[in-house]
Amino acid sequence: MAEAKDSIPIPMATAAAAAPRSSLSPPEFEMRLHVINRQKLVKSLQQHLADSNRPIQGIVLLQGGEEQNRYCTDHTELFRQESYFAYLFGVREPSFYGAVDVATGKSILFAPRLPAEYAVWLGQIKPISHFTERYKVDMVCYVDEMEEVLHSLYKGEDKSLLFLLHGLNTDSGNFSKPADFKGIENFKTDLSTLHPVLTECRVLKSKMELDIIQYANDISSEAHVEVMRNTNVGMKEYQLESLFLHHTYMYGGCRHCSYTCICATGDNSSVLHYGHAAAPNDRTFMDGDMALLDMGAEYYFYGSDITCSFPVNGKFTADQRLIYNAVLDAHNSVIAAMKPGVNWINMHKLAEKVILEALKKGNIITGDIQDMMALRLGAVFMPHGLGHLLGIDTHDPGGYPKGLERPKEPGLSSLRTARELKEDMVITVEPGCYFISALLIPAMESSETSRFFNADAIKRFVDFGGVRIESDVYVTSTGCKNMTNVPRETWEIEAVMAGAKWPIEKGLNHSQNGIANLHS
């Protein structure tokens, strides 16, 4: 590799010794995945039209994403394709359109006609044949030919029917953008049919999709372990973020992250979406802090979403162990109960119950667990939902299909899905336990819930922050499989932070002598 001109030379021996090693290499990506995705959509749409006694004809038309500049400047942000378009076509370039004939399955891409100066500043202008071969579509034309080409698919009809993507994302509250182009007024358009059918296609993952998500999990899990074993008291939170991003890009080929990294330590770990511009992972963490690191890499559009919590000094205190094991038991109980037909609301309640039972055993709360559940006390300690669908988007769509209402009770109202599990869903399992003053104080002052709290014990946790444990899980025909592979037991975390190899060799236990022999 050529050395950058402005870099500081590092002796090769030092560089080799300092560089973390990876057992992984980026897999080759097969564009056939998007052929399969288009076939899946055509089959589903044909079935939907037949069930509705409608003719099986029309053209699905999606508009890809556009490059965006930073406000009024000429600084172009790194482009990432719109997710529905990525799902069907896998196109990495901006300003494309894509069409699929519902009757025949024929696929067409429409590429922007680039100006000559593109070749000077941005590289070779690719011929149409390049995109036909690369993206495995039947035909590629230019965007300025779109009206004529689409009409040609249905010769003799006054106005061909276009199925456009328009529907609500129940996580963001935003609507997807229907395709628009010069001449669209000369077509009939349907804005209601496509979105629910295409969204449901994304909910259940194919074998090829699962393989990519598994790789994203593999490299992200490896990066989490690398961060864990390189964490030292006195570091900055952003240094942990940097280690993760470097590992997943340097060794995993992951240019994009699934979301903004959350690298929270101390009381920052009770800020559920820490890491944003106003809280930019910049605290210096101290001896005795817990770290909550929520980070996941994206590979060829498909993502991962993993959270690890651990003491920054490598040793759990009694209180840290109590809260951590409460969350771990909830995490493991949910995964053990998951299978097709299980309702996700019930899984959330199971996680709450396990955490409340542990807090009661630790004398942090007192009283009847069923009474606590009825009064939604679990939402004080875990205000977010248990998990969410995962795929091309971190919060993949489809959590609330038509007819499924979002619960309104505290905690449950934050669930990103209330569905029953189906085989080949990928969903995160991410219980947490947090000490958030904005929730604890009102609950401790409430006439309904004040009786449950041990005020003296709660005082110990004012600056504790929180613990979250998150794994990516896919539902099998009989149960589920955890796709994430990081240290979870407290003794595993302590061993890895002390220098042990991961995964820890089978047959070695967590006795003190065993841990001492684990070091690499």
| Average pLDDT estimate for 273-279 | 97
User: Of 146-160, 194-208, 421-435, 459-473, which gets the smallest average pLDDT?
Assistant: 146-160
Q: Partners of 42 in the beta sheet? A: none
Answer whether residue 22 is part of any domain: no
| Average pLDDT estimate for 96-120 | 97
> How wide is the angle at C-alpha 263 spanned by C-alphas 259 and 269, nearest 5°?
115
Predicted confidence (pLDDT) at residue 474 exceeds the cutoff of 70: yes
Answer whether residue 352 is part of any domain: yes
Answer whether residue 508 is part of any domain: no
Q: How far is CA 342 from the centre of its chain?
A: 22
Provide the residue type at 503 as one letter. Answer: P
Quick one: pLDDT band at residue 440, thresholds 50, 70, 90?
Answer: very high
pLDDT at residue 159, rounded to an integer: 81
| Average pLDDT estimate for 140-165 | 89
In the predicted model, what is the mean pLDDT of the chain? 93
Report pLDDT digits (tens) over 301-317. 999 999 999 999 999 99
DSSP reduced 3-state for 39:
helix
Query: 235 and 192, same structural domain?
Result: no
Could you list the beta-strand ranges (E) of 184-254.
188-190
pLDDT at residue 5, rounded to an integer: 34
Predicted confidence (pLDDT) at residue 244 exceeds the cutoff of 80: yes
pLDDT at residue 7, rounded to an integer: 32
Answer whether residue 459 is part of any domain: yes
The 10 Å Cβ neighbour count of residue 3 is 9
CATH number of the domain bearing residue 465? 3.90.230.10
Predicted confidence (pLDDT) at residue 513 exceeds the cutoff of 80: no
DSSP letters for 121-145: HT-----HHHHHHHHT-SEEEEGGG
| Average pLDDT estimate for 488-511 | 87
Which residue, of 156, 172, 202, is where some domain finishes?
Answer: 202
Query: Residue 255 in contact with residue 420, Cβ under 8 Å?
Result: no
User: Of 84-93, 156-165, 479-488, which gets the smallest average pLDDT?
Assistant: 156-165
Q: Hey, what are 336's tokens?
A: 């053990």
Answer whether residue 511 is part of any domain: no
Predicted confidence (pLDDT) at residue 51 exceeds the cutoff of 80: yes
Query: 214 and 73, same structural domain?
Result: no
Query: Residue 304 in contact with residue 392, Cβ under 8 Å?
Result: no
Query: 188 and 54, same structural domain?
Result: yes
Predicted confidence (pLDDT) at residue 183 exceeds the cutoff of 70: yes
Could you list the beta-strand ranges (E) of 168-321.
188-190, 256-257, 262-265, 290-295, 297-299, 302-303, 306-311
CATH number of the domain bearing residue 190? 3.40.350.10
Axis-axis angle for helices 490-497, 318-337 (nearest 10): 120
Query: 348 and 416, same structural domain?
Result: yes
pLDDT at residue 9, rounded to an integer: 33
pLDDT at residue 505, rounded to an integer: 83
Radius of gyration of the chain (CA): 25
Query: Residue 234 in contact with residue 500, Cβ under 8 Å?
Result: no
Which residue, of 167, 202, 237, is where some domain finishes?
Answer: 202
d(CA 493, CA 225): 9
Query: 323 and 219, same structural domain?
Result: yes
d(CA 520, CA 516): 10
Answer whether residue 25 is part of any domain: no
pLDDT at residue 20, rounded to an integer: 52
Query: 247 and 382, same structural domain?
Result: yes
DSSP reduced 3-state for 343:
strand
d(CA 65, CA 200): 21
Query: 231 and 192, same structural domain?
Result: no
pLDDT at residue 157, rounded to an integer: 60
Predicted confidence (pLDDT) at residue 102 exceeds the cutoff of 80: yes
> Higher-confidence residue: 354 or 18?
354
pLDDT at residue 512, rounded to an integer: 44
Predicted confidence (pLDDT) at residue 518 exceeds the cutoff of 70: no
Q: How many residues are given for the chain? A: 520
Predicted confidence (pLDDT) at residue 13 exceeds the cutoff of 70: no
Answer whether residue 516 is part of any domain: no
Predicted confidence (pLDDT) at residue 477 exceeds the cutoff of 90: yes
Report DSSP state, residue 177: P
> How wide is the angle at C-alpha 255 spanned by C-alphas 481 and 177, nearest 5°?
85
Provide the residue type at 26 as one letter. Answer: P
pLDDT at residue 514, rounded to an integer: 40
Which residue, of 202, 220, 255, is where some domain finishes?
Answer: 202
Distances (CA, A) of 303 to 296, 361, 396: 7, 37, 10
Work out how many domains the chain is built from and give that number.
2
| Average pLDDT estimate for 454-465 | 96
pLDDT at residue 272, rounded to an integer: 97
Q: Which domain holds residue 63?
A: 31-202
Quick one: pLDDT band at residue 510, thresholds 50, 70, 90?
Answer: low
Query: Residue 355 in contact with residue 378, Cβ under 8 Å?
Result: yes
Query: 167 and 242, same structural domain?
Result: no
Quick one: pLDDT band at residue 336, thresholds 50, 70, 90?
Answer: very high
Query: 476 and 430, same structural domain?
Result: yes
Query: 133 and 225, same structural domain?
Result: no
d(CA 100, CA 38): 8
| Average pLDDT estimate for 460-466 | 96
The 10 Å Cβ neighbour count of residue 32 is 11
Answer whether residue 9 is part of any domain: no
pLDDT at residue 171, rounded to an integer: 95
| Average pLDDT estimate for 410-420 | 98
pLDDT at residue 17, rounded to an integer: 39
Quick one: pLDDT band at residue 8, thresholds 50, 70, 90?
Answer: very low
Query: 232 and 117, same structural domain?
Result: no
Helix, strand, coil percentages (3-state) for the chain, rounded to 5, are 35, 15, 45
Query: 256 and 198, same structural domain?
Result: no
DSSP reduced 3-state for 263:
strand
Quick one: pLDDT band at residue 372, thresholds 50, 70, 90?
Answer: very high
